Amino acid sequence: MFRFDSLDLHPSILKVLADEGYETPTPIQEKAIPDALMGRDIVGTAQTGTGKTAAFALPILNNLNKGKPDKGPRALILTPTRELAIQVDRSFRTYGRKLKLHTAVVVGGVPIKPQIMQLRKRPDILVATPGRLLDLVNQREARLDCVRYFVLDEADRMLDMGFIADVKKIASHVPNERQTLFFSATMPTAVESLANTLLVDPVRIGVAPAAAVADNITQSVMFVGKTDKRALLTQMLKESDVVRALVFTRTKHRANRISKLLTDRGISADAIHGNKTQKARQVALSKFHQGKVKVLVATDIVARGIDVDGISHVINYELPNDPESYVHRIGRTARAGATGQAVSLCDIDEVDFLTDIEKLTKITLIPIGDHPFHCEQTAALYRRRDALKSRPKLQPEKGVRKSGGGNRRWKGSAKPKSQKSASGRVRGRRPSR
């Protein structure tokens, strides 16, 4: 069996890993750490919750320990969210606590002056979100000309959040002589193209399919009317097997409303989203981590930004319209080899989202129908959509144009008739005037 002590890591790092109870690397760690120790550029893809942070933190700490302090940070780690930045910083501090290395974290949403004071102490490792780091660079308070290790964590999320231009600007301030590491749970084409411009002859490591979900997560779906979701959620959270639950909504306002509703109904809950101050978000996370609240209601801002042990359930109060967000959401449970439950509440307007998720993950969610709020109309619509997935696509006859105006004829089908959608609106007719 491959063990951490078989890697060429500093004895102080190995001692910390042993103290933390880590003996065997995860697959991404086993494959990435040796190449990272050798200074190779890396593009690493692995499902969420598999230890990607340690895969780049351990070799960086090891190699930094061999060098000498400089006038600026020697390692720069970019993350898309404040929560993830703080989590990565905590990991570096934990793994490197027996080394004489110093870390700093700079993120938006908090006063900038204390962060400037941190930078003036010349930390060895800097963890940052792109916007705040660029502000500090423009103010000449952050210098990146000493960076030798450049990490982009959750690269695909950077792209989703519109950070691609900021990342390129930051990369232009980092020396060309560097080691660059990309890590993410998914690697879309656009991120792969960015990697090709920033990395030199990288090692590509993929230990799981891009949309893979951990086997130890049980995924299920409940079909429910939109107006019954609150009652169903309340009933679920009162079950004895729900130890610690993370509930996802699509909007900040709904996260607040659901949190207040649960509190009013005797369930300890708090909310976390982008409209809250950084201090309020950290307080909410801390209370959730310590077990002072049972339920944390969140937007996708924490779908990749928290690592809390013991989350027994992830509940999608609303399904995400981006199927990849589903993968990251449910990856908050079943961390470090534990088991977990992922339950999605699906109303009739979300059936398409559900089929997109199943198409991406190649997993059919287990339908749970034995609850008092089951909506058969939604379930029937889902079954019809599911049946259509297996039908072969209709091919146009030869000589018929594939696009453009005019009448079209399709094999095996007549001209489509007007039909009512699930919401009752008539499709296929022009409105009368």
3-state secondary structure the chain: CCCHHHCCCCHHHHHHHHHCCCCCCCHHHHHHHHHHHCCCCEEEECCCCCCHHHHHHHHHHHHHCCCCCCCCCCEEEECCCHHHHHHHHHHHHHHCCCCCCCEEEECCCCCCHHHHHHHHCCCCEEEECHHHHHHHHHCCCCCCCCCCEEEEECHHHHHHCCCHHHHHHHHHHCCCCCEEEEEECCCCHHHHHHHHHHCCCCEEEECCCCCCCCCCEEEEEEEECHHHHHHHHHHHHCCCCCCCEEEECCCHHHHHHHHHHHHHCCCCEEEECCCCCHHHHHHHHHHHHCCCCCEEEECHHHCCCCCCCCCCEEEECCCCCCHHHHHHHHCCCCHHHCCEEEEEEECHHHHHHHHHHHHHHCCCCEECCCCCCECHHHHHHHHHHHHHHCCCCCCECCCCCCCCCCCCCECCECCCCCEECCCCCEECCCCCC
* Residue 428 pLDDT: 44
Q: Which of 381, 386, 324 is nearest to 347 (CA)?
A: 381
| Residues 292-344 pLDDT 10s | 999 999 998 777 767 788 899 999 999 999 888 898 899 889 876 788 999 99
Distance CA 257, CA 409 (A): 50
Q: Which of 207, 202, 193 is nearest to 42 (CA)?
A: 202
* Residue 426 pLDDT: 43
CATH no. of 217-388: 3.40.50.300
User: CA 301 → CA 170, 268, 286, 327, distances in Å?
Assistant: 22, 21, 16, 14
* Residue 395 pLDDT: 53
* Residue 371 pLDDT: 94
The more confident residue out of 368 and 393 is: 368
What type of residue is 5?
D
Match domain 4-206 to its CATH number in 3.40.50.300, 3.90.1150.10, 1.20.140.10, 1.20.120.1200. 3.40.50.300
Is pLDDT above 60 for 365? yes
List phi, psi (to 5°) of 267: -110, 120
* Residue 430 pLDDT: 42
- Tell me the mean pLDDT in the region 422-430: 44
- Report the predicted TM-score, pTM, of the whole model to 2 decimal places: 0.69
| Residues 247-302 pLDDT 10s | 999 999 999 999 999 999 999 999 998 888 878 888 998 899 899 999 999 998 77
- Per CATH, 4-206 and 217-388 having the same topology is answered yes
Distance CA 229, CA 347 (A): 8
What type of residue is 143?
R
* Residue 391 pLDDT: 56
Q: Residue 405: pLDDT band by 50, 70, 90 thresholds?
A: very low
List phi, psi (to 5°) of 88: -65, -40
The domain segmentation of the chain, as residue ranges, is: 4-206, 217-388
Distance CA 428, CA 180 (A): 53
* Residue 303 pLDDT: 76
Is pLDDT above 90 for 45? no
Distance CA 26, CA 44 (A): 13
The more confident residue out of 198 and 190 is: 198
* Residue 202 pLDDT: 94
Most distant pair of Cα atoms in the chain: their distance: 80
Of 81-85, 124-128, 274-278, least confident by mean pLDDT is: 274-278
Distance CA 216, CA 341 (A): 9
Distance CA 83, CA 8 (A): 31
The mean pLDDT of the chain is: 86
Radius of gyration of the chain (CA): 24
Distance CA 86, CA 102 (A): 14
